[in-house]
Amino acid sequence: MSPWKDAWNNFRKNKTALVGLCIVLFFILLAIFSPIIAPQGINEQDLSKRLQAPSADHWFGTDDFGRDILSRVIHGARISLWVGFFAVVGSATVGSLLGIIAGYYGRWVDTIISRMFDIMLAFPSILLAIAVVAALGPSLRNALIAIAIINIPNFGRLIRSRVLSVKQEEYVMAARAIGMSDMRILFSHVLPNSMAPIIVQGTLAIATAIIEAAALGFLGLGAQPPEPEWGKMLSDARTFMLQAPWTMIFPGLAIMLTVLGFNLMGDGMRDALDPKMKN
């Protein structure tokens, strides 16, 4: 049995992880088919129906412009998952590359890269993201870039520690002995044997990225009107929190469930890919 098939067999035995996987798949399908599923247009306004409570016509109620909250929450899944996925792909790519170089070559290269990671980690992540977006300008794209930047050290330090262990293995030493180039060793031997922690960290990082995107949207630094981003929806609804609590409840639930799904799935993947967790 291949290691990945073995990991899948271990994963599916974890009921909690399967619940997380189902939640994630639900929101992914929601994002893919949002134009079909959404009952109304995301920007269709009817001021005569503003701040209506949930009903048969509007299952999640309406906002202060009379827009259907259910439709906006459904479309918001596409935005949040898009930001979370591509921000993590960017940070994992750059962080893993820097971590591999630092761990494999060591010495002054490792010192410079590690100190750079330490400096970035010295700042609270959300404050660093705010600083990046403030420098680039508020927009969804710039929020994605900011989230990718602040997560680079997490992947870099993780892969560095893994490379420090892998490069001492006999097959890596044998590859050096026969004259294999450093690039070929890194991408043929070191990186493939360091993928498991990257996958687990990436899954958990998507949940963090969704929260960070919502936080930037709440502060007005992420998605701009009329984009139906969940954090922005929470920000717009805070004025009507007591008058129309449903305007905050449903976007908040969407964030909570999505993050919960990725966290449960990430924990299950960690247990499935960690040899120490196997019976």
Longest CA span, the chain: 77
Q: Which of 254, 212, 261 is nearest to 230 (CA)?
A: 254
- Tell me whether residue 33 is in a domain: no
Summarize the confidence of residues 173-184 as an average pLDDT. 79
Residue 273 has a pLDDT of 75
Q: Residue 58: pLDDT band by 50, 70, 90 thresholds?
A: confident
Residue 43 within any structural domain of the chain: no
- pLDDT for the residue 197: 83
Distance CA 212, CA 34 (A): 23
Whether 53 is in a domain gets the answer no
Residue 160 lies in domain:
15-28+68-274
| Domain containing residue 265: CATH number | 1.10.3720.10
pLDDT, tens digit, for every residue of 213-248? 999 999 888 888 888 889 999 988 888 888 889 989
> Tell me: the pLDDT tens digits for 196-209?
788 888 888 999 99
State the CB neighbour count (10 A cutoff) for residue 267.
Answer: 17
The structural domain count of the chain equals 1
Nearest partner of 41 among 6, 16, 19, 66, judged by Cα: 66
**CB under 8 A, 24+ apart: contacts of 168-176:** 169/193
Indicate the range of 65-79, 94-108, 177-191 predicted with least confidence.
177-191
What is the predicted pLDDT for the residue at 277? 53
d(CA 159, CA 190): 10
DSSP secondary-structure letter at 124?
-
Average pLDDT of span 59-66: 88
- Confirm whether 225 is domain-assigned: yes
Give me the pLDDT at residue 170, please: 77
Residue 174, amino acid: A
Please check whether residue 8 lies inside any domain of the structure.
no
Alpha carbons 251 and 170: distance in angstroms, whole number: 52
